[in-house]
């Protein structure tokens, strides 16, 4: 009896399980299929949209590259235009300067021509006057040169004569004479100066040696050349060591 009841229970349970499985099969499988189909459709739509987006992106990138190239070309043309404008402005300034110079030269030429016409001289007379003027200027320069040499000679002879006439007389040097020591020989106490006959130096002229406004020594010129002199230290006047670059000025300037 018990076996029969157990068998009946097992059969009922099997039928219940089978009914449940059948129910799930008839209701869940279609739902899963529909979900799968919806997902496939959404995936295809997303892929389509992605492809479209990529295409649009490439197109946008191409347009951006083209725009950037156009912008670069525009900047290049702008720079060229600015350079041309600057060159033209500079050229205009140069032309204005040349025009101003030409105008001044024309006005000067017209003034010279008017002055020439006012003299009533012929071209040959003007040429002769110009030639005579040049000759006169050359003669004047020669006379002035001879005058300078003569004055130097007179000064030298006067100073030499003074040594014999009055022992207390000193050689007078130009008051504006200034020079520097270029060479020093401490062993023999002589120096070389950068001033000579061209600057009015005279043998036996005495010079004060100074450095930064302080007296260093006194020297007397023994040898005079065209543009330099050689001088010896005056005994008892060595207040410090002489060096190259020390300044010298007349100890007895001419009044």
pLDDT category at 196 given cuts 50, 70, 90 is very high
pLDDT, greater one: 90 or 7: 90
pLDDT band at 12 (very low <50, low <70, confident <90, very high): low
Per-residue pLDDT tens digits for 114-154: 776 676 667 776 677 677 767 767 766 766 666 566 556 65
152 touches 224 (CB < 8 A) = no
Q: Are strands 247-250 and 214-224 parallel, antiparallel or unpaired?
A: unpaired
Whether residue 163 has pLDDT greater than 60:
no
Torsion angle, alpha carbons of 15, 19, 21, 26, to 10? 160
pTM of the model: 0.40
CA-nearest of 206, 220, 213 to 246 is 213
pLDDT confidence band for 52 (50 / 70 / 90)? confident
Mapping DSSP onto H, E and C, the string for 2-22 reads HHHHHHHHHHHHHHHHHHHHH
* Res 219 pLDDT > 90: yes
* Inter-residue contact 206 to 220 (CB < 8 Å): yes
The mean pLDDT value of the chain amounts to 79
Report the pLDDT averaged over residues 99-111: 81
CA dist 163 and 228 (Å) reads: 23
The 10 Å CB-count burial string (b at 16+, else e) for 206-239 is bbbbbbeeeebbbbbbeebeeebbbbebbeebee
Closest alpha carbon to 230 in 187, 195, 200, 254: 195
The number of helices, as runs of H, and strands, as runs of E, in the chain is 2, 6
**Look-up: residue for tokens 């110079």?**
101
| pLDDT higher at 171 or 213 | 213
The 10s digit of each residue's pLDDT in 61-88 is 888 888 888 878 878 877 887 788 788 8
């Amino acid at each position: 009896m018990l076996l029969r009841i157990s068998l009946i229970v097992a059969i009922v349970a099997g039928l219940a399980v089978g009914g449940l499985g059948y129910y799930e099969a008839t209701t869940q499988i279609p739902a899963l299929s529909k979900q799968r189909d919806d997902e496939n459709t959404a995936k295809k739509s997303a892929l389509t949209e992605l492809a479209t987006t990529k295409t649009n992106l490439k197109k946008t990138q191409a347009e951006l590259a083209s725009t950037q190239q156009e912008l670069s070309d525009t900047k290049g043309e702008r720079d060229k235009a600015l350079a041309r404008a600057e060159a033209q402005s500079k050229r205009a300034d140069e032309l204005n300067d040349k025009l101003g110079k030409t105008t001044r030269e024309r006005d000067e030429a017209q003034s010279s021509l008017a002055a020439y016409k006012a003299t009533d001289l012929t071209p040959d007379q003007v040429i002769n006057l110009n030639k005579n003027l040049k000759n006169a200027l050359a003669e004047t320069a020669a006379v002035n040169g001879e005058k300078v040499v003569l004055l130097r000679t007179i000064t030298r002879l006067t100073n030499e004569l003074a040594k014999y006439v009055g022992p207390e007389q000193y050689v007078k040097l130009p008051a504006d004479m200034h020079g520097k020591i270029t060479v020093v020989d401490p062993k023999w106490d002589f120096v070389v100066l950068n001033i000579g006959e061209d600057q009015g130096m005279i043998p036996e002229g005495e010079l004060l040696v100074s450095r930064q406004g302080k007296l260093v020594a006194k020297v007397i010129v023994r040898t005079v050349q065209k543009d330099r002199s050689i001088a010896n230290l005056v005994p008892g006047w060595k207040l410090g060591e002489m060096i190259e670059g020390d300044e010298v000025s007349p100890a007895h300037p001419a009044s």
